[in-house]
Amino acid sequence: MAEQLTERVFVLPGGTNIGVVIADDGRAVVIDTGLNDTPARKLLRFVREDLKTDIAAIINTHGHADHFGGNAFLVKRTGAPVYAPDLDEMTLRHPLMQPIMLYGGADPADAIRTSFLVAEAGPVDGLVHLGENEIAGVNFAAHSLTGHSMNQLGYVIDDVFFCADVVFPEATLEKYPIPYLYGLTEHLQALEFARGVQARKIVPGHGPILDDINSLVDLNLAAIERVITTILEIVDRPMLADEICQQLFQHMNVTIADAQAYYLLRPTVQAYLAHLERTGALNLIVADASVIWTRR
């Protein structure tokens, strides 16, 4: 069931929350489209049957399959143009980029060419840029929430903040104590930035709609702090990144059930290591035909 947040802003809750904004001409602009055809079909039914209108444009928050996977279906059915952040938009057009990046920039093993990581490709018609945007008659502000992805954007429309995956809900943090990250340094800035965004309602990419983001920012920061502390405890001698990963996952009871789970977390740990090197806690040295991490 859709939730109406303001006169013209709706949210369709699901595995990924989808925003629907009614433009001045009565048509709908949607924010993210879910993982695949199934949520996209539900979204189209809601727009056509309940709102009795059509989709004028699709805006994505970032280039992860669970947020743009319904694009291709909706574009075929409605012809709506698609807008996305620079850099992240590449994955919408070339979904294989996601496993390629997770696999360290190489031809990814078949084991990670999964439906969760590789959505159907779709077009991108324009970029959303930082600051004020106007798409299909809807004015909104776009803010950088880089960190969860290379160029994730959050959107403020009326008094509603679509904050994408800058925060994960409590249940997700319990299940996944090390949530996926592209870059920790910028993610920490994005979390602090998100606190200051003025909005009456906050719609995260996953989980319940919030009145206030602060307690969830705190929970997400605490999860990050636990990972940092554990990494620094583990690296009590020079170590390979793979050793750090293995010990970290064991210490934090992270289940690596399949290759996808591993390859989502391997770059996440790399992001932590880069941040810890940048902030002076760790050193990266090259020795014994390898890259080795040490405490500074």
Binding positions for Zn ion, rule: CB under 5 A: 64, 165
* Smallest separation, CB 152 to Zn ion (Å): 7
Residue 169 has phi, psi (to 5 degrees) of -70, 160
Choose between 57 and 164: whose C-beta lies nearer to Zn ion.
164
Choose between 64 and 201: whose C-beta lies nearer to Zn ion.
64
Choose between 30 and 136: whose C-beta lies nearer to Zn ion.
30
* Smallest separation, CB 149 to Zn ion (Å): 6
DSSP states of 128-159:
E-SEEEEETTEEEEEEE-TTSSTT-EEEEETT
Choose between 78 and 220: whose C-beta lies nearer to Zn ion.
220
* Smallest separation, CB 96 to Zn ion (Å): 17
Choose between 89 and 165: whose C-beta lies nearer to Zn ion.
165
Q: CA 137, CA 123: separation in Å to the nearest integer?
A: 21
- The answer to whether 211 touches 200, Cβ cutoff 8 Å, is yes
DSSP states of 42-94:
HHHHIIIIIS---EEEEE-SSS-HHHHTTHHHHHHHH---EEEETTTHHHHH-
Give SS3 for 96: coil
Residue 72 has phi, psi (to 5 degrees) of -55, -45
Sign of CA dihedral 42, 111, 266, 99: negative
Q: What is the DSSP letter of 105?
A: S
* Smallest separation, CB 197 to Zn ion (Å): 18
* Smallest separation, CB 72 to Zn ion (Å): 18
Choose between 171 and 284: whose C-beta lies nearer to Zn ion.
171
| Beta carbons within 8 Å of 210's beta carbon, 6+ residues apart | 201, 202, 203, 204, 216
* Smallest separation, CB 154 to Zn ion (Å): 12
The CB-nearest residue to Zn ion is 64
